[in-house]
Structure 1
Amino acid sequence: MSKKIMIIDDSDVFRKVVSVYLKGSNYEILEASNGEEALKKLSETKVNLIICDVNMPVMDGLTFLTKVKAEPNNKFTPTVMLTTESQEEKKKEGMEKGAKAWLVKPFSPQQLLSAISRLII
């Protein structure tokens, strides 16, 4: 049974790029364009890992992180933040809210795959 990963980013192109990176690793990919859409999808299905941008419309990644970690079904689901945010304060805030990894765009496919393989159960 393949592991499920949700990719949350407002850029369709970025979600497709990440999907291509993960395709060869036999993961089932779910997508959402913002935190609100992701929460709705996560209420209907369980995933093994979440990949999330920080800067998004409707609901940003840090707000999403707070809300998803408050849900019993997703409290322990590892979350990787992929973002253009390189400020140490933002990273610290994200890690305090429950992110397990913080990768700054642009990143290499190997950086992403390495973070995922460390975290996915």
Structure 2
Amino acid sequence: MKTCLVVDDSKVIRKVARHILETLDFTVSEACDGREALQACMASMPDVILLDWNMPVMSGMDFLRALREADVPRRAKVVFCTTENGMAYIRAAIEAGADEYVMKPFDRETLESKLQIVGMA
């Protein structure tokens, strides 16, 4: 079964994402900030990471840079999930190593199509 780590400081977003991902046959784990997510990835790398941009402790961008610089045996697909919709944000996310980008609020159809793009659905 595919695994997904949902990283968001909003409990509601994590719950919604978990529900959608579980209907898509993912095993889901959660982290409430980038530092917690990085620790989770070092312990066990998920197949895909659904990543919020704006979080306390460690932002999504800081997490992504740290993850891409880490010496890990395999690379997780990263889908940024945020309210930031400017082209500069999208470009910065892709340049930092994100594989895809989804806008909040999202629905099952939108998330599933983004997962298909990165080869995870």
Q: Which residue pairs with 2:80 in the alignment?
A: 81
Q: Distance in 1 between matches of 2:73 and 2:93?
A: 16
Q: Which residue pairs with 1:95 in the alignment?
A: 94
| TM-score for both structures, normalised by structure 1 | 0.92
Q: Which residue pairs with 1:15 in the alignment?
A: 14
Q: Which residue pairs with 1:113 in the alignment?
A: 112
Kindly tell me: are residues 78 and 15 of structure 1, through their superposed partners in 2, closer, same or farther at Cα, counting changes over 3 Å? same
Q: Distance in 2 between matches of 1:114 and 1:11?
A: 23
Q: Distance in 2 between matches of 1:92 and 1:83?
A: 14
Partner of 2:64: helix, strand, or coil?
helix
CA contact (8 A) 1:51 1:81 kept: yes
Partner of 2:49: helix, strand, or coil?
strand
| TM-score for both structures, normalised by structure 2 | 0.92
Segments of structure 1 that go 5 or more residues without pairing to the other structure are: none
Q: Which residue pairs with 1:64 in the alignment?
A: 63
Q: Which residue pairs with 1:30 in the alignment?
A: 29
Q: Distance in 1 between matches of 2:14 and 2:74?
A: 23
Amino acid in the other structure paired with 1:55: N
CA contact (8 A) 1:69 1:75 kept: no
Deviations 1:21-42 (A, max 9, x none): 1111211101000000000111
Partner of 1:30: helix, strand, or coil?
strand
